[in-house]
A and B are shown apart, each in its own frame.
Chain A
Amino acid sequence: MHEEVSRGTPDLSYCLADPMRIRRASFPKLQSLRPEVSGFKKAEPGGPGRAGSHGGGGEREGPDEAPTPARPGTRKCWGERSGVETESRMVVTSLKLQDLIQEIRGAKTQAQERELIQKECAHIRASFRDGDPLQRHRQLAKLLYVHMLGYPAHFGQMECLKLIASPRFTDKRVGYLGAMLLLDERHDAHLLITNSIKNDLSQGIQPVQGLALCTLSTMGSAEMCRDLTTEVEKLLLQPSPYLRKKAILTAVHMIRKVPELSNVFLPHCAQLLHERHHGVLLGTITLITELCERSPAALRHFRKVVPQLVQILRTLVTTGYSIEHSISGVSDPFLQVQILRLLRILGRNHEESSETMNDLLAQVATNTDTGRNASNAVLFETVLTIMDIRSAAGLRVLAVNILGRFLLNSDKNTRYVALMSLLRLVQSDHSAVQRHRPTVVECLRETDVSLSRRALELSLALVNSSNIQAMTQELQAFLESCPPDLRADCASGILLAAERFAPTKRWHIDTILHVLTTAGSHVRDDAVANLTQLIGGAQELHSYSVRRLYSALAEDISQQPLVQVAAWCIGEYGDLLLEWSSEETEPLQVEEEEVLALLEKVLQSHMSLPATRGYALTALMKLSTRFHGDNNHIRQVVSIYGSCLDVELQQRAVEYNTLFRKYDHMRAAILEKMPLVERGGPQADEEGKESKAAAQLSEAAPVPTEPQASKLLDLLDLLDGPSGNAQHPPPLDPSPAGTLAHLLDLPCAPPSPEIIQRPSLTTWSSGCLQKKKVESKESTEGPVSLTKHTAKLVDLL
Chain B
Amino acid sequence: MQFMLLFSRQGKLRLQKWYVPLSDKEKKKITRELVQTVLARKPKMCSFLEWRDLKIVYKRYASLYFCCAIEDQDNELITLEIIHRYVELLDKYFGSVCELDIIFNFEKAYFILDEFLLGGEVQETSKKNVLKAIEQADLLQEC
Contacts and interface: CB of A to CB of B under 8 A. Distances in A.
B110 A177 contact: yes
Contacts of B135: 69-70, 72
Interface in B66-83: 73, 75-78, 80-82
A27 B15 CA distance: 18
Interface of A is mostly: helix
A447 to B, nearest CB: 6
Nearest to A56: B104
Contact of A249 (B47, B60, B118, B134): B118
Interface in A101-152: 101, 105, 141, 144-145, 148-150
Interface string B125-139: 111110101111111
A177 B107 contact: yes
A376 B77 contact: yes
A606 B62 CA distance: 52
Nearest to B114: A214
Contacts of A384: 75
Given A70-B93, A380-B77, A54 B104 contact: yes
B36 interface: no
Contacts of A341: 73, 75
Nearest to A182: B24
B126 A278 contact: yes
A29 B97 contact: yes
Interface in B7-34: 8, 12-19, 21-23, 28
Nearest to A51: B100
A450 B21 contact: no
A309 to B, nearest CB: 17
B125 A24 contact: no
A441 B85 CA distance: 35
A413 B77 contact: yes
Contacts of B21: 184-186, 219, 221
Interface in B86-143: 87-88, 90-100, 103-104, 106-107, 110-111, 114, 118-119, 121-129, 131, 133-143
A250 B118 CA distance: 8
A337 interface: yes
Interface in A363-384: 373-374, 376-377, 380-381, 384
A9 interface: no
Contact of B76 (A253, A324, A335, A417): A417
A709 interface: no
Interface string A695-738: 00000000000000000000000000000000000000000000
B18 to A, nearest CB: 8
Interface residues of A, number: 89
Interface in A342-396: 373-374, 376-377, 380-381, 384
A26 B46 contact: no
Interface string A205-216: 001001001100
Contacts of A32: 61-62
B48 A416 contact: yes
A415 B45 CA distance: 12
A450 B45 contact: yes
A28 B127 CA distance: 23
A173 B77 contact: no
Contacts of B38: none
B52 interface: no
Interface stretch (A326-334, A495-503, A593-601): A326-334
Contact of B126 (A24, A73, A221, A279): A279
A214 B85 CA distance: 19
Given A148-B16, A207-B140, A278-B126, A377 B119 contact: no
Interface centre among A23, A245, A332, A334 (most CB of B within 10 A): A334
A72 B128 CA distance: 16
Interface string A415-455: 11100000000000000000000000000000110110000
A148 B38 CA distance: 19
B49 interface: yes
A278 B125 contact: yes
B142 A30 contact: no
Contact of B103 (A76, A101, A170): A101
Contact of B125 (A33, A335, A447): A335
A282 interface: yes
A72 B138 contact: yes
Contact of B107 (A33, A69, A174, A219): A174
Given A185-B21, A337-B75, A101 B61 contact: no
Contacts of A72: 135, 138-139, 142
Contact of A29 (B76, B96, B125): B96
B63 A210 contact: no
Given A207-B140, A412-B46, A54 B100 contact: yes
B108 to A, nearest CB: 9
Contacts of A26: 100
11 contacts: A30-B64, A45-B99, A51-B100, A60-B104, A186-B23, A214-B118, A217-B119, A218-B18, A246-B118, A325-B126, A334-B122
Given A20-B96, A334-B81, 8 more contacts: A27-B62, A31-B91, A33-B61, A45-B99, A169-B140, A324-B127, A417-B76, A448-B46
5 residue pairs, one from A and one from B, having the closest CB atoms:
A73-B138, A377-B77, A27-B98, A217-B119, A30-B61
